[in-house]
Amino acid sequence: MGTVMSYDIVYLADRPDCVDACAAWAYGRWGVQKTKSSLENARAYFAQCSQKDGLPMTLLAINRDTNLPIGMISLWPQDGQKWPDKTPWIAAVYTLYRYRGMRIATTLVERILQEAKRFDFDIVYLQAGSAAGMYRKLGFREIERRDASTAAAGHEILFCKDM
């Protein structure tokens, strides 16, 4: 049995020192495949995500032992231009590689759903490829699938969840 790692979920607004980590994770995972993306743009957007009472918002998983970020999740008004009529979006769900498989992403999703309820949203959306199975287990339903050359899974799935 492995060691249990303890972490806290906090607002990025309370840890502005972590904006660069969020930007680096997001740009490295998704941005490098987009022609109009840059690390600077990612940094600027995550700086906007440093709020508690509006969108865009980001939450972090912070390792209690190191006080460093190990995961993130955001609630954005939009996630790209593919589905402009849909809002809000769960986006930028990321767990640092060595901490995957510890249910950190699941905990982050559950926590961001609480934030969506706090803002009185009745539905949330997200795009997923390789993590689709996790979202299905969390009660998200698939509403559309598109081929995507930049996605690791070769396709993107549009999911939604009623609140």
* CATH number of the domain bearing residue 17: 3.40.630.30
Give the domain extent around 42. Answer: 7-120
Burial grade of 74 (CB within 10 A; 0-12, 13-18, 19 or more): buried
Q: Which of the 8 DSSP states describes residue 87?
A: -
In a domain, 132, yes or no: no
In a domain, 146, yes or no: no
Along the 163 residues of the chain, how does pLDDT read in single tens digits? 455 689 999 999 999 999 999 999 999 988 777 778 899 999 999 999 999 999 999 999 999 999 999 999 999 999 878 888 999 999 999 999 999 999 999 999 999 999 999 999 999 999 988 889 999 999 999 999 887 665 555 678 899 999 9
In a domain, 154, yes or no: no
* Torsion from C-alpha of 109, 115, 120, 122, nearest 10 degrees: 0
Beta pairing, strands 141-147 & 155-162: antiparallel
Tally of structural domains, the chain: 1
